[in-house]
Amino acid sequence: MLKKVEFLGMGNNVNVTEAIEEPIYTEEEFAAVDPQLVPHHVAIVMDGNRRWAKKQGKPGEMGHWYGAENLDLIVRAASELGIKTLTAYSFSTENWNRSPHEVEVLMQLLEAYLINKREELVKEGVKLHTIGDIERFPSPVKKALEDTIQATKNCDRIDLVLALNYGGRDEIRRAMLKMEKAAARGEFEWENITEETISSYLDTAPWPDPELLIRPSGEQRVSNFLIWQISYSEIYVTDVLWPDFSKKNLLEAIIEYQNRSRRFGT
């Protein structure tokens, strides 16, 4: 089955035709994974889009589009492997410092992605969530988010969490503000705060901390992403740029994760 999607944010229409509904992995590939040791929650930094576009001789903005298209494949692959939550670093608090044109394109791309992919997300059982502060986003983007979250609310195969206008430090700052108000209402006493208390006020409270953080593009840093939650996450770094990050790359990351010994300081 073929599906055509269209993005109108580049001046010229961009048509991408892709095959869907075929199995992602072969039986042999599945056999390489221990289903009992598949991480419940995987976080991914979708990095390297502009470098990928430059290598391809394409405008930088096109790298973001192909990166968004690649997210579809990786979500399906993650779901097939048994991963229950995939958190994707989509737009950071620092990304506002990019050129106004690039930010505008990213907003258009996000809106188009949410509208064009809504039906497919439902069909694939993908429940959409966001973390971060989306109030700064344009109204059409916020509406597209709200509509897609509503449309996918009953899906239960995998949670796709988009980190939008997200920064780990900002998340902790916002959590502290919420905690201050909660303490003023008498919901807890400051001297009794535990790590669990703090975690419960973070954006990611509904999900367990990620067991695995995947960093494409070869960068050796976490870039202000889930800095509280990844304290004991395994980190997998690959030089592959995000638009080229494939189902095989995801499988390799999961296999390496399963071969590591997680000692948690013991």
In a domain, 26, yes or no: no
For residue 3, what is the DSSP state? Answer: E
pLDDT band at 6, cuts 50/70/90? very low
pLDDT, mean over the chain: 90
In a domain, 195, yes or no: yes
Query: Is 47 marked active-site?
Result: yes
Euclidean distance between the first and final Cα of the chain, in Å?
50
For residue 88, what is the DSSP state? Answer: E
Catalytic one of 13, 95, 192, 249: 95
State percent of the chain over pLDDT 90: 85
Query: Is 95 marked active-site?
Result: yes
In a domain, 64, yes or no: yes
Output the pLDDT for position 264. 67
In a domain, 25, yes or no: no
Is residue 87 marked as binding?
no
Structure tokens at 47: 């990095």
- Is the predicted pLDDT of residue 2 greater than 70, yes or no? no
Is residue 185 marked as binding?
no
Output the pLDDT for position 102. 92
Average pLDDT over residues 215-233: 96
* CATH number (domain holding residue 75): 3.40.1180.10
Average pLDDT over residues 151-175: 98
The 10s digit of each residue's pLDDT in 89-139 is 999 999 999 999 999 999 999 999 999 999 999 999 999 999 999 999 999
Output the pLDDT for position 266. 65
**Helix and strand numbers, DSSP H then E, in the chain:** 8, 8
More confident residue, 5 or 45: 45
pLDDT band at 1, cuts 50/70/90? very low
Is residue 174 marked as binding?
no
Catalytic one of 12, 47, 203, 239: 47
In a domain, 180, yes or no: yes
In a domain, 263, yes or no: no
Q: What burial class does residue 185 get, using C-beta atoms within 10 Å of its C-beta: 0-12 exposed, 13-18 middle, 19+ buried?
A: exposed
**Placement of tokens 């990844």 in the chain:** 230
- Is the predicted pLDDT of residue 76 greater than 90, yes or no? yes
Does the CA dihedral 21-211-220-136 come out positive or negative? Answer: positive
The 10s digit of each residue's pLDDT in 155-166 is 999 999 999 999
- Is the predicted pLDDT of residue 5 greater than 50, yes or no? no
Is residue 22 marked as binding?
no
Output the pLDDT for position 19. 38
Pairing mode, strands 41-45 and 14-19: unpaired
- Is the predicted pLDDT of residue 262 greater than 80, yes or no? no
In a domain, 42, yes or no: yes
- Is the predicted pLDDT of residue 217 greater than 60, yes or no? yes
Domain range holding 101?
35-258
Q: Total domain count for the chain?
A: 1
Is residue 203 marked as binding?
no
**Which of 40-54, 55-69, 104-118, 211-225 has the weakest average pLDDT?**
55-69
Is residue 93 marked as binding?
yes
- Is the predicted pLDDT of residue 206 greater than 50, yes or no? yes
In a domain, 19, yes or no: no
pLDDT band at 8, cuts 50/70/90? very low
